[in-house]
Chain A
Amino acid sequence: MKYMIMMFGGLGASLEGRPPEWVMGMNELMVTMDAELREAGEIIASQKLMDPSRATTVRFENGSPTPTDGPFAEIKESLAGYWIVEATEERALEIASRVVAYTEYPMEVRRIMEE
């Protein structure tokens, strides 16, 4: 089964007020986990997104698609990055929990539909 593990927050504005040791620790954790999951062959894809403040949202307004600067959701709740893993649901939740234990930012785990 494939799961998408999505991370929210952890970029730009949400890092304000964190001490440098904490930011470094988070980077280390992400790098270590990424390497471990790759090593184990569990990762299918992993991507980090640019800061949501640089996003553009295209909405249907006044009869035509109109791009406006800014993310769809609030910046604090915006998607920061994701892993796609081949794992059981239990294992996917375990991976997410390990990150949340450190960052305290929420993560969402969703199963990917079979083709």
Chain B
Amino acid sequence: MTGDRAVEDLLRELAPRVLGTLARRHGQFDACEDAVQEALLAAARQWPAEGIPEQPRAWLLTVATRALVDHWRADSARRQREIAVATDPALRAHSRAEADDTLTLLFLCCHPALSAPSQLALTLRAIGGLTTAEIAAAFLVPEGTMAKRITRAKRQIQDAGARFTMPSAAEHGERLSVVLHVLYLMFNEGYTATSGPGLHRADLTAEAIRLVRLLHRLLPGESEVVGLLALMLLTDARRAARTDADGGLVPLDEQDRSRWDAAAIRDGIALLTGTLGSGPIGPYQLQAAIAAVHDEAPTAERTDWPQILALYDVLAEIAPGPLVTLSRAVAVAIVHGPRAGLAVVGTLDADERMAHSHRLEAVRGHLLERAGEPAAARAAYLKAARMTASEPEQRYLTLRAVGLPRA
């Protein structure tokens, strides 16, 4: 008997490589992806009982190829020529580096023609090797809904005329930033579950970290890939301290730092130190550097806020955005006082992009509380509580509001 866990890990490692090889040979991403899913399901059934075959990758490739051929036979006879090619042993030896295939696959799943939820779902299935049922559970939607989303995503890729090739050198940078963004969203979806009773969905964060590690192996020279990996490790390190026994949210300055994952922090800082200065500085490296300053502080009071503010100043320069402004406002408030922070928050009032976010009001509430304005703070907290879709956040904000002294 082989452990289910070992089989699962192996399958998920092999999934993108098998799909990459198949898609390169036959081109039809849609059909290939279905065929690989079939092979993975067959392996998940057989291997735990019968043992892992000597050449697991070849086994999966054979089963997937057979499934693909079956699909074509059922599809129509006009595929005869392709079947001949698929089953010709002389053509099988042809192989390029598998790593390239996985990378090509990742770029394809994060195709700009797809919406972010579709990119996430497809990446989890094609690269992560997760089943549709697992992905549906992670996103809290019915399996049928997720199956349709994946099917639609694959059709959209086809309609966009995407081929199984790497983006051109000119496109590379832009496409890589989409890939990084998708993986970052996957991480955040798991870390701050946007809806539902639990604050974390650890499976999604773990998967995002695994995929960024994989990307880092494939593109070791890309400093923003390192930055993103460091950022995820340094953020995820605080996971255990982020909620209390009742599932309530614990803010950073009140967390029990002895519960932070020291090994993850060491890894994250080592990665970051190794990459800073080796390439152009990007937003992920900067955010990782900020997370590192927090993680290195033995207590909230001893956090090096002037350094954090300096990092936010650079971030606001190279990657401006309302959320960066909001985070910078918090740093400004701590270094220069709550009123200075509130002035920065005020610059976002007219920003359309923040009109539907509870974060602006939540930060305003905190700063008003620190400025000694309980009545205004209370109103801001309650407004934020009404705007969030996350139950733990709603509870936290409501308690914060009702806990303030009456005016």
Binding site for B on A (CB under 8 A): 11-13, 15-16, 18-20, 22-24, 27-28, 31, 48, 50-51, 53-54
**Interface contact A54-B246, CB-CB below 8 Å:** no
Given contacts A31-B246, A48-B391, contact A24 B399 (CB under 8 A): yes
Query: Complex: how many Å from CA A4 to CA B402?
Result: 30
Query: Complex: how many Å from CA A48 to CA B195?
Result: 10
**Interface contact A54-B387, CB-CB below 8 Å:** yes
**Interface contact B402-A23, CB-CB below 8 Å:** yes
- Interface SS, A side: helix
> Chain B, interface size: which category?
10 to 19
Contact partners of B389 in chain A: CB under 8 A: 50
B400 smallest CB distance to A (angstroms)? 9
B139 smallest CB distance to A (angstroms)? 16
Given contacts A28-B246, A31-B246, contact A13 B382 (CB under 8 A): yes
Query: Complex: how many Å from CA A13 to CA B386?
Result: 8
Candidates A13, A20, A48, A50; contact of B402 at CB < 8 Å? A20
**Interface contact A18-B402, CB-CB below 8 Å:** yes
Interface flags for B206-244 (1: CB within 8 Å of A; 0: not) read 000000000000000000000000000000000000000
Contact partners of B387 in chain A: CB under 8 A: 51, 54
**Interface contact B402-A19, CB-CB below 8 Å:** yes
B156 close to chain A: CB less than 8 A:
no
Given contacts A27-B395, A48-B391, contact A54 B386 (CB under 8 A): yes
**Interface contact B386-A12, CB-CB below 8 Å:** yes
Given contacts A27-B395, A54-B386, 6 further A-B contacts (CB under 8 A): A12-B385, A15-B401, A20-B399, A28-B246, A31-B246, A53-B386
Given contacts A15-B398, A20-B399, contact A51 B386 (CB under 8 A): yes
Query: Complex: how many Å from CA A66 to CA B387?
Result: 23
A81 smallest CB distance to B (angstroms)? 10
A83 smallest CB distance to B (angstroms)? 13
Contact partners of B246 in chain A: CB under 8 A: 27-28, 31
Contact partners of A53 in chain B: CB under 8 A: 386
Query: Complex: how many Å from CA A22 to CA B398?
Result: 11
Contact partners of A51 in chain B: CB under 8 A: 385-387
B403 close to chain A: CB less than 8 A:
yes
Instruction: Identify the closest chain B residue to A28 (Cβ).
Output: B246
Query: Complex: how many Å from CA A20 to CA B406?
Result: 12
Interface flags for B352-376 (1: CB within 8 Å of A; 0: not) read 0000000000000000000000000
10 residue pairs, one from A and one from B, having the closest CB atoms: A51-B386, A12-B386, A20-B403, A20-B402, A53-B386, A23-B402, A50-B389, A20-B399, A27-B395, A15-B398
**Interface contact A15-B386, CB-CB below 8 Å:** no
Query: Complex: how many Å from CA A2 to CA B322?
Result: 46
Given contacts A27-B395, A28-B246, A48-B391, contact A12 B402 (CB under 8 A): no
B38 smallest CB distance to A (angstroms)? 32
Query: Complex: how many Å from CA A18 to CA B246?
Result: 21
Query: Complex: how many Å from CA A11 to CA B388?
Result: 12
Chain B residues 192-209 with CB under 8 Å of chain A are none
**Interface contact B391-A15, CB-CB below 8 Å:** no
